């Protein structure tokens, strides 16, 4: 293909688009179902319950330290499936591309998606391509959907948190949101922080195997750990208490948060999974996480306690308690 940039005609349904699909998408994702290029992808269904999720990704910049929009989109969808206790199977990817995007950028993004999908042992079997005029989209938007199967006996739900449960997480919080914010806002903060974008299906499978009574799983993306736990607390009618001294935050992330006036609990993560599990299986769950990839820094960060339903609170370094609310709006650097 001679074209160096994406043009409107690449989305017009004609010759150019057919070539783009063949030479970029099919070539990269490379699986028999996709190669069929039917109007719908057809695949066999396993017995069990279907998990189905969809997400749109509109991140700026599209390339950031530790990842890119493609890697993010596949991991995000895979992790949503994993959070339901499902084994990810098939993904779709719809692209809305801004006219003028360098072809090399598109290829780079697609290669990232392939790598993430391979790691998650899922494949992209369906897709769509649209090209919009310059200015109508910010480089590229990706919408991914995914299906998976929830094995028999697995009952993971945000409504299942119970008093006495342990609250665990697989590693450092705040890296992704900070890495992207610093890259985007041009605040000229040089941090060694990189996005933690990662597919966690394998980690979740380990946890469920070691701790079959796991009650809740949630990936703390937008809104951070604060938003994710508030959702669980609300759905479960439970009170969750976190221990400030137990929160795993990298020194560099702490530094960036102090400088920008941000709360690490409010910052997005893309390679983290909150695990709420009965105390009796907490150690097993932790060990399972630490045993493999993306779980080396797994830690116990709190527990479900007696208290007002729907509340998330933090025991501070002073030993006092305060409430952890969802953040209001996009966390913005403040100088006050």
Partner 1 sequence: MRHLDEYRDPALLRALERELAALRPAPVNLMEVCGTHTMAAARFGLRQALPEGVELLSGPGCPVCVTPTREVDRFLAAGAAPGTILATFGDMLRVPGSRSNLERERARGADVRVLYSAADAVALARSRPERQVIFFAVGFETTAPTVAMTLLEADAGGVGNFSILCAHRIVPPALKALVLAGEVNVGGFILPGHVSTIIGSRPYEFLAREHRMPCVIAGFEPTDLLRAVLMLLRQRAEQRPQVEIEYSRVVKPGGNERAQAVMERVFEVCDAEWRGLGMIAGSGLRLREEFRRFDAASRFGLLAPDTQDPPECRCGEVLRGVVRPTDCTLFGNACTPEHPVGPCMVSTEGTCAAYYKYRPSPDG
Partner 2 sequence: MCLAIPMKVESIEGTTALVDAAGTRRRVNVALVDDVAVGDYLLVHAGFAIAKVDEEEARRTLDLLRQLGDATS
Does the protein bind partner 1 through residue 260 (CB under 8 A)? yes
Q: Which is nearer to partner 1, 199 or 302 (CB)?
A: 302
CA distance 21 to 29: 10
Angle between helices 103-120 and 201-210 (to 10 degrees): 20
Q: Which is nearer to partner 2, 212 or 261 (CB)?
A: 261
Does the protein bind partner 1 through residue 258 (CB under 8 A)? yes
**Among partner 1, partner 2, none, partner that 325 touches (CB below 5 to 8 angstroms by kind):** partner 1
Q: Which is nearer to partner 1, 258 or 296 (CB)?
A: 258
Residues 182-201 that bind partner 2 (CB under 8 A): 187-193
Does the protein bind partner 2 through residue 94 (CB under 8 A)? no
CA distance 180 to 69: 11
Those residues with Cβ within 8 angstroms of residue 177's Cβ, 6 or more apart along the chain or in another chain: 224, 267, 268, 269, 331
CA distance 311 to 12: 51
CA distance 252 to 275: 25
Selected range binding partner 1 among 15-23, 70-78, 249-257, 285-293, rule: CB under 8 A: 249-257
* Contact predicate 161/238, CB 8 Å: yes
* Contact predicate 117/178, CB 8 Å: no
CA distance 185 to 165: 39
Q: Which is nearer to partner 1, 67 or 248 (CB)?
A: 248
**Among partner 1, partner 2, none, partner that 192 touches (CB below 5 to 8 angstroms by kind):** partner 2
CA distance 221 to 207: 20
Tell me if residue 330 falls in helix, strand or coil.
coil
Residues 88-127 that bind partner 1 (CB under 8 A): none
Pairing label, strands 63-64, 216-218: unpaired
* Contact predicate 298/165, CB 8 Å: no
Selected range binding partner 1 among 198-206, 254-262, 267-275, 279-287, rule: CB under 8 A: 254-262
Does the protein bind partner 1 through residue 333 (CB under 8 A)? yes
Residues 308-327 that bind partner 1 (CB under 8 A): 308, 311, 313, 316-323, 325
Residues at the site binding partner 2, with contacts judged by CB under 8 A: 187-193, 251-252, 254-256, 258-259, 261, 334-336
Residues at the site binding partner 1, with contacts judged by CB under 8 A: 185, 187, 251, 254-255, 258, 260-261, 307-308, 311, 313, 316-323, 325, 328-329, 332-336
């Amino acid at each position: 293909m001679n074209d160096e940039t994406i043009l409107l005609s690449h989305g017009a349904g004609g010759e150019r688009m057919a070539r783009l699909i063949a030479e970029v998408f099919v070539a990269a994702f490379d699986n028999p179902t996709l190669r069929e290029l039917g109007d719908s992808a057809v695949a066999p269904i396993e017995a069990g319950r279907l998990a189905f999720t969809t997400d749109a990704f509109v991140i700026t910049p599209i390339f950031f330290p530790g990842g890119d929009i493609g890697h993010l989109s596949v991991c995000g969808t895979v992790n949503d499936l994993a959070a339901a206790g499902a084994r990810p199977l098939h993904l779709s990817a719809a692209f809305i591309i801004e006219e003028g995007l360098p072809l090399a950028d598109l290829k780079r993004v697609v290669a990232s998606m392939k790598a993430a999908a391979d790691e998650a042992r899922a494949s992209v079997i369906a897709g769509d391509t649209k090209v919009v005029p310059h200015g109508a989209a910010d480089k590229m938007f990706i919408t991914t959907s995914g299906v998976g199967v929830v094995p028999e006996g697995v009952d993971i739900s945000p409504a299942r948190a119970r008093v006495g449960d342990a609250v665990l997480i697989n590693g450092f919080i705040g890296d992704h949101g900070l890495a992207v914010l610093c890259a985007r806002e041009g605040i000229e903060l040089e941090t060694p922080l990189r996005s933690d974008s990662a597919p966690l299906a394998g980690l979740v499978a380990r946890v469920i195997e070691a701790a079959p009574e796991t009650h809740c799983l949630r990936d703390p993306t937008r809104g951070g750990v604060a938003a994710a736990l508030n959702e669980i607390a609300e759905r479960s009618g439970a009170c969750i208490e976190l221990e400030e001294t137990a929160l795993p935050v990298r020194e560099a992330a702490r530094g960036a948060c102090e400088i920008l006036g941000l709360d690490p609990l409010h910052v997005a993560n893309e390679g983290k999974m909150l695990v709420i599990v009965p105390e009796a299986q907490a150690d097993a769950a932790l060990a399972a996480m630490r045993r493999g990839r993306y779980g080396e820094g797994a830690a116990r960060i709190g527990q479900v306690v007696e208290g007002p339903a729907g509340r998330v609170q933090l025991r501070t370094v002073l030993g006092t308690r305060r409430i952890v609310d969802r953040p209001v709006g996009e966390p913005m650097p403040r100088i006050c």
